[in-house]
Amino acid sequence: MTDHAALLSVAREAVAKATGIIRSMTSFSVAAKGDRDMVTDVDLAVEDALRAFLARETPEIGILGEERGHEGDKDLWWALDPVDGTANFARGIPLCGVSLGLVDGLKSTVAAISLPFLDVTYTAAEGQGAYAGEERLEASKATKLSDAIVSIGDFAVGEGAEVKNRVRMALLAELGGRVQRVRFLGSAAIDLAWVADGKLDASVILSNQPWDTMAGVLLVREAGGVVVDIDGGDHTVRSAATIAVGAGLRDEIVAAIARAAS
């Protein structure tokens, strides 16, 4: 049986190490890695340091990092985004985070997200609740879209982006006329952590990279929220999209996405 408490301690220490590296590297270079996508020296330094740390502490567990790919066990593995929100970070915008989730089969069971410039760490373990520091989190209880602040994930880039972004534009129109506010924060880790924290009522991320989402998905669920795929079905590591929402708005958000997608 997986010892979630022990692995949560490892995850906490890992993101604390990452936070120290991010805060200490006051100068860095930025390189392109795709269409309107980038990587910094900090992304690479954090991932390399955490890969080495996790290999020492949990050698039996695999790891998938955004920058270096997958190594080891593919049934039980760490999903790591060393700097989620690199575009923000590279411009000095403090909305970025380190995201580390333990994926067991199709779902995450341990999570730690550190927001280095906002001085908060979010953690969760399956069945044990979600926390910001020592404060237990509770997702939004909102039941009306007109009361909701909803974040939307970044627009697609690269091959096929034009077609994918038609849905995003339709979703903006759909939600913009009905919710209290729409926000683009530029970091899936923050989007999901803030749904868990009740700061956001929903987050619609029309993609599902495990390093971006798996830690935050567990936070939302352990805070009493719901995470589904684009069709409203249960979210897993194989999902096409990541829609996180307070339970009272699930049906309305899913219906809005369906209207936009059609």
**Is residue 35 marked as binding?**
no
Interatomic CA distance for residues 138 and 131, integer angstroms: 9
Give the DSSP letter of residue 137. P
Q: Are strands 130-132 and 135-136 parallel, antiparallel or unpaired?
A: antiparallel
Beta strands in the chain (DSSP E): 30-34, 37-40, 62-65, 69-71, 76-84, 97-104, 107-115, 120-125, 130-132, 135-136, 149-152, 181-183, 202-205, 226-228, 242-245
**Phi, psi values for residue 171, rounded to 5°:** -65, -40
Interatomic CA distance for residues 62 and 80, integer angstroms: 11
Interatomic CA distance for residues 14 and 84, integer angstroms: 15
Q: Are strands 120-125 and 226-228 parallel, antiparallel or unpaired?
A: unpaired
**Is residue 154 marked as binding?**
no
| Residue 93: count of CB within 10 angstroms of its CB | 14
**Is residue 162 marked as binding?**
no
Contact 200, 194 (CB under 8 A): yes
Contact 123, 11 (CB under 8 A): yes
Helix (H, G, I), strand (E, B) or coil at 40: strand
**Is residue 37 marked as binding?**
no
Beta strands in 130-261 (DSSP E): 130-132, 135-136, 149-152, 181-183, 202-205, 226-228, 242-245
Binding-site members for Mg(2+) are: 66, 81, 84, 212
Binding-site members are: 66, 81, 84, 212
